[in-house]
Structure 1
């Protein structure tokens, strides 16, 4: 089992997959190794089998991706809605299992599973992610239904930034070979519902339950929590609620976890026991053949498995059901395994079913938590007769307190590694929330499936819990954040947390405390005095740049707003700043266009103490003005545009009013240009013909209206970074602009192919691409 787990972990680190022949050879070697009765041979055999089978599956999944020639063209598809639709005021997103596809009447091979968006209203969206304008949605899909659509697709692609969410890994894990949107405009074929969902499909029942909850509770926020607890639909929980649950450390309770499955199994076992008594009275022979202890145990496991499937069969649910089944099997067989063997077996089975579950945070939190509980179990029964009645009554409460203390202590380092924050109030919040959610909210949420009016009681229980969590979250130090530690320090901290939590001698616990120290006190890397780092973030079709000196930081632009509920400032820029331990001294927004200013409010709310500059603020005191200059740590900053006369000139476009910032470190300089067109570039270049630029942030994302020959000939940049969206509808960067760069020998990169692009003044001849750092075989490549 250990060899299998290690083999999966190793294969997932590969930047490229090997040929199928190599994986087949490894499988053959592994099978031969199993024939040897030597433990080391079995360990190596498990390793070879895991690498071989996982690599073979990866090869087939890579082959199931969209053909690049089919990107951006209209394709007719017929298939099944393969997930619960995630709905918002803008439309819905769902997974789609393709049955057949054609283009202009000719059959086409598509990936087996797509992720599609169907928008409710005409909007020029996808500015940020690129594929053209989605169109009007006149209907609503149901899980399990068969539909005929006209779609436009693109290969799996997502923004890639340091310590950020890896969307491409998420798509890979869910087997999605292409993403796209439904074409439903006036000139497109009308989407057609071909057939309804079969009655036996699990997703159909899950969606019906979600709809009944919505119908019963209306717009009450608690409806989302109840949908998550009843059927595992976490998308129903609003973003502010998730923020509250994370801040108070109870987010694990708002999804189907091992705690919920175990509690349900306990109730199910009791129910089966009651029913079995009736069966035994009517059919005594059956009861003798199938004893009550066996029937109740396996009945509880079976019903728990059914609940786990209804809840979406996530990693925590898989782990719990497998663990319950293994424990029941061992106990009924009068066998006893040490907990590491039990734990490792379940992990190996989960990874055999889905090797890429290893990539999810839920996998690690789930298995680490169970390991700590196993290892920390004192092995004493709470109800032993030698204890007084009061001690027996108090034991469950003390057990809950101890388990929660173990979890808080052991998982705090892992939470810092995965999320960059720890809830300081989490211990207090969980002491109340765990019994409340497990014993009150979850049973009521499930009971409402049978008696819908019970959901009103459940909603009241959620509201009461939410009020208490709001109070805890309002404490000044409710959440503790730390920069992301380097991997060796992070692993040491996780081990240290485990040693502290376990029942070990004081010397071992002291060693655990020492292992925590480096990760907690480490100082993130910063440029040396007199040097500067410029990081152009990958935010799709938009711009956001982080500039760092030895002790200061500036954010130039904040990325696009994708919809009323999501923007790059909140989803990309803020997580990056927190992971790096950066609090910006100055936020400068070049101009008011949404692709540059969409995330600005999120940054202003998060860093109210930061200075603010823009070209559109109502307060002239906050305007960026040519001539403004300052020096941080030996690095000079000069605002070059707009001038005071530009603010007084009527009819100036927002692009023409873009702030232009020049950052100079010694002999090297970086120009951040916003969206200025050629009409503003030329005067800037001619005003100081002696100016040079080592790095140029491509004006207006590489539009044909910018990057004029005069600007390029004057500045003579060595490096150019183009911030644009993958397959964006504007065609950025324009071919004519790329030709200008290449004709002058300028090294240029674009964020769709590079990810976040980082330039440093002490290494001026190169731009580091995030896609080349930690590349994995599932990442997009040209």
Structure 2
């Protein structure tokens, strides 16, 4: 029944409203009809479907009342997190009242709000305000961070702007134990050089970590040490288990011989682990590990044997019953797979208390098994793997387990009695020295970027393990590997590729040819602090392991050049030199350049009195297909291009000025004669691009039109005799997210 429940949840979350869901459901029904033992599987399967439906209705299906009538809504909110404290402030809030609907703290939806007020906002603040709200809808691009999926997992249903200039803020009651504990720990480690490390290990709160800290730890394969998970929970459990055991042996109490005293040791360890998770505010990874520990202990003592695989299954059932959409969290797969790998290694190489060398060998094999076993997941989710992580974890895990964590717990306890900052220095100094050594490790040794790995590749790689582990005819394990090889050698790859990213109101284009990239425009920036370059462009380049060859900025409007500063800061300032020899903030020159067999041509122009018409127009041409990039030119510049008899005819056109009616004249459309037109525009943006008149003009020539605001990133693959167009929202969509 538990197995059926897990299958029901997985199939419903990922395949509901698809052919796969129907086929799997009918198959289970047929098997259960003819094989009675499968009736419990069917019952669990139905329970899984009902569980997903119930959670979605209760916690995720929120709608704005009378959307077409309301301009602003009256809401009561409680601030959960301050994302940006610089005005305009950006906060994550929990909505406890929306118009006449009130929600409990348990069920209340979250929202992201922009607050243009001089009043400082803190977590825990509550206020009533008039808010311009709309359903949360993020941008959608291939193989990069999916903001809309993440928002769903965080129950972020809305986003909007607070209209009040002054807010009557009051403080809502908070969990004083957790707040007091975090304040105490923050003060305790404040003088330490690595205070951010100690703070996150003791509280699970990463607010003291900088982006550079997180990036370094990930590249070194040590980021899992900072997430309170199975390792940390088992350490707390183990410390308390052996502490209580030693204490009872020391005092030698008179106990009934029939009692299993190990139950008391385990209960004490579990209570300590629960307190640790409670003080970490029940973060997902810690809660997941605590549930797994609880299931293992219950089965161990009730069944009188270590039913490891059953404990994993029951823990998974509990986690999915609490929140079936936790399947969308990559940490779930890393956690459960890591435990499975450890169990498999321990079955073959058990830890033996009397043999130190054998135990060291087992620990080494466990680390090697974790590295190999988690490798496909790492490649899929992070597009690479830490080369240094295999060696560093052999040193870091023992240091964390037997030195750092005991020292931190001792510091917390001693700090309650007296000022023990001097004690922290004893381990802070050598750890700081080690951290400086880690900084000196070259980047190419820290992290190997292999590019995008498909889910099919991951599934085939993991299918090798059960074939080797459970089937006597182990030669069958070659089948998935042969499938991978044949798929690699016989799948046709495109000759080159056009990518028009979804960046809201703005433009960002990448042309890919033979693992090299040409970039045209960099999307908008917001509040002079954020842009789409770090969140979309750079991750996409890393995910596909591309080498940037050259770049062009069409003109200096924010929606086209907003991300230039971030792109230059990432080390790509040189990429503008060819087309912008006078500097990136000057217009491009008229020239032609070969780009791995493609022709990149920029057009000469007269000087106009506006930046839009001074946009750099680029034509990328191959033998059979071409793409025209037009910036924000208007009908005036279009007319000039036609008079100069420039070769404008192209297969794909990025519509001028996002589809504005000030552009795309009938004469220009006739001269270009595109088969495909892509409008780079925001979803329901304030200018309502593309204009209906423009859409109608392109319809007259039967051009296929796509708006990034509607369909997400548009990718066009060019082959020798045909092209293929795919969109992010069509290919990567879920039934529970309304696009």
TM-score interval, normalised by the smaller of the two chains: 0.7 to 0.9
For the residues of structure 2 that align with 1:521 and 1:609, how far apart are their CA atoms?
35
Aligned residue for 2:457?
489
For the residues of structure 1 that align with 2:259 and 2:612, how far apart are their CA atoms?
78
Q: Per-residue deviation at 1:79?
A: 3.3
For the residues of structure 2 that align with 1:80 and 1:525, how far apart are their CA atoms?
53
**Greater shift in the superposed pair: 154-163 or 579-588:** 579-588
For the residues of structure 2 that align with 1:685 and 1:208, how far apart are their CA atoms?
71
Counterpart mapping for 1:161-560 below 5 A: 161-183=141-163, 188=164, 190-198=166-174, 201=175, 204-211=176-183, 222-273=194-245, 292-378=261-347, 382-385=351-354, 391-392=355-356, 394-445=357-408, 451=415, 457=425, 460=429, 463-472=432-441, 474=442, 476-496=444-464, 518=485, 526-528=493-495, 532-549=496-513, 552-560=516-524
Match for 1:112 among 94, 108, 111? 108
Query: Is the CA contact (8 Å cut-off) linking 1:3 and 1:46 kept in structure 2?
Result: yes
Q: Does 1:717 align with 2:681?
A: no
Change (3 A) 1:611 1:91: closer
Aligned residue for 1:11?
12
Aligned residue for 1:698?
655
Match for 2:645 among 678, 681, 688? 688
Aligned residue for 2:601?
638
Q: Per-residue deviation at 1:244?
A: 0.7
For the residues of structure 1 that align with 2:352 and 2:333, how far apart are their CA atoms?
32
Query: Is the CA contact (8 Å cut-off) linking 1:703 and 1:734 kept in structure 2?
Result: yes
Q: Per-residue deviation at 1:114?
A: 1.8
Query: Is the CA contact (8 Å cut-off) linking 1:365 and 1:411 kept in structure 2?
Result: yes
Query: Is the CA contact (8 Å cut-off) linking 1:756 and 1:770 kept in structure 2?
Result: yes
Counterpart mapping for 1:140-179 below 5 A: 140-143=121-124, 145-179=125-159
Aligned residue for 1:572?
536
**Greater shift in the superposed pair: 271-280 or 653-662:** 271-280
Query: Is the CA contact (8 Å cut-off) linking 2:498 and 2:512 kept in structure 1?
Result: yes
Q: Does 1:97 align with 2:94?
A: yes
For the residues of structure 2 that align with 1:147 and 1:622, how far apart are their CA atoms?
47
Aligned residue for 2:561?
597
SS in 1 for 2:445: coil
Query: Is the CA contact (8 Å cut-off) linking 1:541 and 1:595 kept in structure 2?
Result: yes
Q: Per-residue deviation at 1:68?
A: 7.5
For the residues of structure 2 that align with 1:562 and 1:744, how far apart are their CA atoms?
37
Number of aligned positions between the proteins: 723
Q: Per-residue deviation at 1:274?
A: 6.7
Change (3 A) 1:190 1:771: same
- Ranked by relative contact order (alpha carbons within 8 Å, sequence separation 6 or more), the top structure is 1
For the residues of structure 1 that align with 2:186 and 2:162, how far apart are their CA atoms?
25
For the residues of structure 2 that align with 1:617 and 1:498, how far apart are their CA atoms?
58
For the residues of structure 2 that align with 1:108 and 1:704, how far apart are their CA atoms?
44
Q: Per-residue deviation at 1:346?
A: 1.4
SS in 2 for 1:177: strand
Query: Is the CA contact (8 Å cut-off) linking 1:722 and 1:748 kept in structure 2?
Result: yes
Query: Is the CA contact (8 Å cut-off) linking 1:72 and 1:154 kept in structure 2?
Result: no
- TM-score, reference length from structure 1: 0.80
**Greater shift in the superposed pair: 589-598 or 655-664:** 589-598
For the residues of structure 1 that align with 2:196 and 2:210, how far apart are their CA atoms?
7
Q: Per-residue deviation at 1:259?
A: 0.4
Q: Per-residue deviation at 1:423?
A: 0.6
Match for 1:41 among 28, 39, 42? 39
Query: Is the CA contact (8 Å cut-off) linking 2:553 and 2:616 kept in structure 1?
Result: yes
For the residues of structure 1 that align with 2:318 and 2:240, how far apart are their CA atoms?
24
SS in 2 for 1:148: strand
Query: Is the CA contact (8 Å cut-off) linking 1:499 and 1:512 kept in structure 2?
Result: no
Change (3 A) 1:750 1:205: farther
- TM-score, reference length from structure 2: 0.84
Change (3 A) 1:195 1:244: closer
Change (3 A) 1:142 1:486: closer
For the residues of structure 2 that align with 1:667 and 1:333, how far apart are their CA atoms?
71
Q: Per-residue deviation at 1:262?
A: 0.9
**Structure 1 residues 213-261: Cα deviation after superposition (integer angstroms, max 9, x where no partner):** 5566669884443343222223542111111111110011111121011
**Greater shift in the superposed pair: 206-215 or 476-485:** 206-215
Query: Is the CA contact (8 Å cut-off) linking 1:668 and 1:693 kept in structure 2?
Result: yes
For the residues of structure 1 that align with 2:644 and 2:97, how far apart are their CA atoms?
61
Counterpart mapping for 1:66-77 below 5 A: 66-67=64-65, 69=67, 73-77=71-75
**Structure 1 residues 124-171: Cα deviation after superposition (integer angstroms, max 9, x where no partner):** xxxxxxxxxx5134122233x533233232212122211122222222
Match for 1:656 among 613, 621, 631? 613
In structure 2, runs of 5+ residues without a counterpart are none
Aligned residue for 2:631?
674
Change (3 A) 1:510 1:331: closer
For the residues of structure 1 that align with 2:429 and 2:86, how far apart are their CA atoms?
26
